[in-house]
């Protein structure tokens, strides 16, 4: 994973509506970027809903939430609407940002190894510095974990 205390890599990705979203858009705010494997799958849904359920409390701490996966914008739109997610989901089909944040690597599922998105979260402070990294995430309570460090 990316290291705490380092400068967060700049990026611009499309959100679920096809609009550009850049890290620099949130200068002066804390930014929670969570990387997840796939829209509307069991673990990813639990994690997204955990962030949804803690969204207002996270906003109250001066932070915004951004979800990032390689899914298409249209997939993000459906996922966001289905679960009433109040934050942007960013599409990184080339996995450029995913790799820049070291959220790509070897995963294991049902005893098979493969390359994929590592479920992880990075919290960036108001100056653009990585303040906390969650290299492994338990989806159901992750929103509460992130809230606790803000």
Residue 22 maps to a domain? no
CA distance 51 to 66: 10
Catalytic residue, candidates 8, 21, 32, 44? 44
Domains of the chain: total: 1
Residue 72 maps to a domain? yes
Is 49 designated active site? no
| Residue 100: CATH number of its domain | 3.40.30.10
Average pLDDT score over residue span 127-131: 97
pLDDT tens, position by position, 67-83 = 999 999 999 999 999 99
Residue 150 maps to a domain? no
* pLDDT of residue 115 exceeding 90: no
Within its chain, how far is the Cα of 62 from the centroid? Answer: 17
Domain limits at 72? 12-16+29-145
* Three-class DSSP category at 100: helix
Residue 84 maps to a domain? yes
Percent of the residues in the chain that have a pLDDT greater than 90, as a whole number? 89
Per-residue pLDDT band at 114 (split at 50, 70, 90) = confident
Residue 130 maps to a domain? yes
Specify the DSSP element, H or E, that contains 20: strand 20-22
Q: Specify whether the CB–CB gap between 116 and 108 falls below 8 A.
A: no
Residue 4 maps to a domain? no
Residue 136 maps to a domain? yes
Residue 2 maps to a domain? no
Q: Specify whether the CB–CB gap between 50 and 119 falls below 8 A.
A: no
| Cβ contacts of 9 within 8 Å, gap of 6 or more | 2, 23, 97, 100, 101
Calculate the CA dihedral of residues 48, 28, 103, 57 and round it to 10 degrees: -20
């Amino acid at each position: 994973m990316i290291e705490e205390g380092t400068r967060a890599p700049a990026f611009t990705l499309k959100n679920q509506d096809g609009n550009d979203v850049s890290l620099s858009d949130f200068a002066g705010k804390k930014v929670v970027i969570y990387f997840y494997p796939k829209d509307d799958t069991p673990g990813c849904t639990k994690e997204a809903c955990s962030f949804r359920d803690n969204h207002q409390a996270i906003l109250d701490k001066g932070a915004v939430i951004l979800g990032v996966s390689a899914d298409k914008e249209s997939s993000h739109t459906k996922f966001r609407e289905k679960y009433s997610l109040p934050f942007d989901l960013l599409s990184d089909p080339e996995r450029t940002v995913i790799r820049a944040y070291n959220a790509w690597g070897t995963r294991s599922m049902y005893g098979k190894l493969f390359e994929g998105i590592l479920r992880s979260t990075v919290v960036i402070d108001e100056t653009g510095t990585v303040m906390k990294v969650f290299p492994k995430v338990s989806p159901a309570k992750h929103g509460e974990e992130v809230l606790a460090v803000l």
